[in-house]
Structure 1
Amino acid sequence: MTDETDETSEGIKGTGGDSKDPGDEVQYHVEVGPGDVADAVLLPGNPERVDTITALWDDHEEVAAHREYRTATGSYDDTPISVTSTGIGSPSAAIAVEELARVGVDTFVRVGSCGAIQPGMEVGDLVITTGAVRQEGTSDEYVREDYPAAADGEVVAALVAAAERLGYDYHTGVTMSADSFYAGQGRLGFEGFEAAGSAELVAELQDANVKNIEMEASAILTVASVYGLRAGAVCSVYANRITGEFRTEGESRASETASLAVALLARMDEVKREAGADRWHAGLSL
């Protein structure tokens, strides 16, 4: 029996039966409980990006730090907001969505970096995901492979409105989420290793009008959708896969856009309540 199978009563027992659901208790990986986080949580991969994000807020307090998961809660534009880093890849991102949902979170916005693969996309631009190609394996363990990884329309609308208000260059469209940074994204591996099909991968995605490549969005969108929760993603372009240019630029713009989007979503929810509407739509004004 490994360490993972017998750590706590909340952990996976490995006996074939269901493990104890933490329910309203402190969550096993992210180490947050009810009241620790806001209804909306930003999900960067890099734990260091938590500091970039919270620097933009009115106030904040770090409430948990365990493994790759750092969580802070505060306010932006007088709106409650939280952030939890997820580490690299879909397995750990799905864990964050699972456990944050269990303590009441209903809205998730991935804030990340990506590689752009279409002409006219510059390093530092933002990409707002409308849907994602599920080239990661995590979401396959939740639902059949032909289930779409679709971003919630309200979250997409809020992200677009935020980018417009802030004056940031952005693109909208389909994202591809991979399970590896190298072979899975058409890059050469160690000593020039080339995975089968990797040479054609980017060209095939370009032909299908996919805008960018990253590693978490499709799992976050899929898991949130399965549970009836809202999710979206905004990424800054670090790599231009057409020109080969790479710079770590635009991180703060993605962070500010996502933070403002959460504030706009809160206003959209208030307008819906006042109008007695189930969904925000263009006929309702912010």
Structure 2
Amino acid sequence: MARSSTPHIDPKGVPIAETILLPGDPLRAKFIAETFLSDVQQFNEVRNMLGFTGTYRGKPVSVMGTGMGIPSISLYSYELIHDFGVKNLIRVGSCGAMQEGMELYDVVIAQGASTDFEDYVAQFDLPGTWAPLSSYRLLSKAAAVAEERGQRTHVGNVLSSDVFYSADTTALSRWAKLGVLAVEMESVGLFANAAAAGVDALGIFTVSDHIITHEETTPAERQTAFTGMIEIALEAL
């Protein structure tokens, strides 16, 4: 049975739209709301995981931080889907490029998500290895918008890693050999929850650092300068 509030999300009567953008950083959620949305209302402040609802081109859109890692986004996306009726969830965040020819500020659209955190997918008790995919409906729209805008974009597989500081220094290069484009930390949980519930999810990322060249952006740039992916996400919706 759907709840009007949960231990993690308490809207206090403010509506949550069927479409939501999910950055990891709650301050990025605030920036997105203030920069791109009109008629903004804050719907969540529990644990400082800020959430807002407004309109974009007249359409209701929400945005909310999810924190870092598969467990965190899985918790929030589950409640958003099952308690608050969200049907379109787009993760927007940063990623580390893993292929030559990719550059800082390139956009990556996740077709699928591999992971080194097997336990989350294992809960579905499937007789094999399941590869969670994004929504093709959202993916095709986002890719078309990116092409129209002339945005350098890469579409393919990403790695949702549960390990930021790895003792295995060869791990990422082995994923890269199989064509994985970039590493981030959340999408597999989001895609799995969405697939299990029959709703749509997508991941759109800005390259914030490069595993091969060791180039990187600053924390301030990650919070406020990655506007291209936000515009792609909003226009796709």
**Among residues 216, 221, 227, which one is paired with 2:197 in the alignment?**
227
Q: Secondary structure at the match of 2:169?
A: helix
Point out the more displaced range, 131-140 or 210-219. Answer: 131-140
| AA matched with 2:147 | E
Instruction: Confirm whether residue 182 of structure 1 aligns to residue 165 of structure 2.
Output: yes
| Cα 1:34–1:156 shift into 2, 3 Å | farther
Partner of 2:21: 42
Q: Secondary structure at the match of 2:104?
A: coil
| AA matched with 1:141 | Q
Partner of 2:44: 64
* Alpha-carbon separation, structure 2, partners of 1:178 and 1:141: 17
Q: Is the 8 A contact 1:142 1:223 kept in 2?
A: no
Deviations 1:42-69 (A, max 9, x none): 1100011012212122332211111152
| Cα 1:161–1:52 shift into 2, 3 Å | farther
Q: Is the 8 A contact 2:30 2:50 kept in 1?
A: no
What stretches of structure 2 of length at least 5 have no aligned partner?
A: none
Q: Is the 8 A contact 2:110 2:156 kept in 1?
A: yes
Instruction: Confirm whether residue 135 of structure 1 aligns to residue 116 of structure 2.
Output: yes
| Cα 1:247–1:94 shift into 2, 3 Å | same
* Alpha-carbon separation, structure 2, partners of 1:251 and 1:140: 33
Partner of 2:169: 199
1:141 Cα offset (Å)? 3.0
Instruction: Confirm whether residue 241 of structure 1 aligns to residue 211 of structure 2.
Output: yes
Q: Is the 8 A contact 2:89 2:202 kept in 1?
A: yes
Partner of 2:4: 25
Kindly, what percent of the aligned residue pairs are identical?
A: 30
Point out the more displaced range, 47-56 or 244-253. Answer: 244-253
Q: Is the 8 A contact 1:30 1:70 kept in 2?
A: no
How do residues 135-174 of structure 1 correspond to structure 2 at under 5 angstroms? 135-136=116-117, 137-144=119-126, 146-174=129-157
Say which one has the larger Rg: 1
How many residue pairs match? The answer is 228
User: Scaled by the length of structure 2, what TM-score is found?
Assistant: 0.90
Deviations 1:108-135 (A, max 9, x none): 1000100000111101111000001022
Q: Is the 8 A contact 1:72 1:83 kept in 2?
A: yes
Q: Is the 8 A contact 2:92 2:203 kept in 1?
A: yes
Q: Is the 8 A contact 1:71 1:84 kept in 2?
A: yes
Partner of 2:89: 108
* Alpha-carbon separation, structure 2, partners of 1:244 and 1:215: 19
Q: Is the 8 A contact 1:128 1:233 kept in 2?
A: yes
* Alpha-carbon separation, structure 2, partners of 1:70 and 1:235: 20
| Cα 1:142–1:83 shift into 2, 3 Å | farther
| Cα 1:68–1:177 shift into 2, 3 Å | farther
* Alpha-carbon separation, structure 2, partners of 1:231 and 1:32: 22
| Cα 1:204–1:93 shift into 2, 3 Å | same
1:166 Cα offset (Å)? 2.9
> Relative CO higher for 1 or 2, CA cutoff 8 Å, sep ≥ 6?
2
User: Scaled by the length of structure 1, what TM-score is found?
Assistant: 0.75
Partner of 1:273: none
Partner of 1:4: none
* Alpha-carbon separation, structure 2, partners of 1:214 and 1:203: 15
**Among residues 18, 31, 39, which one is paired with 1:52 in the alignment?**
31
| AA matched with 2:74 | A
What stretches of structure 1 of length at least 5 have no aligned partner?
A: 1-20, 184-194, 263-286
* Alpha-carbon separation, structure 2, partners of 1:163 and 1:106: 22
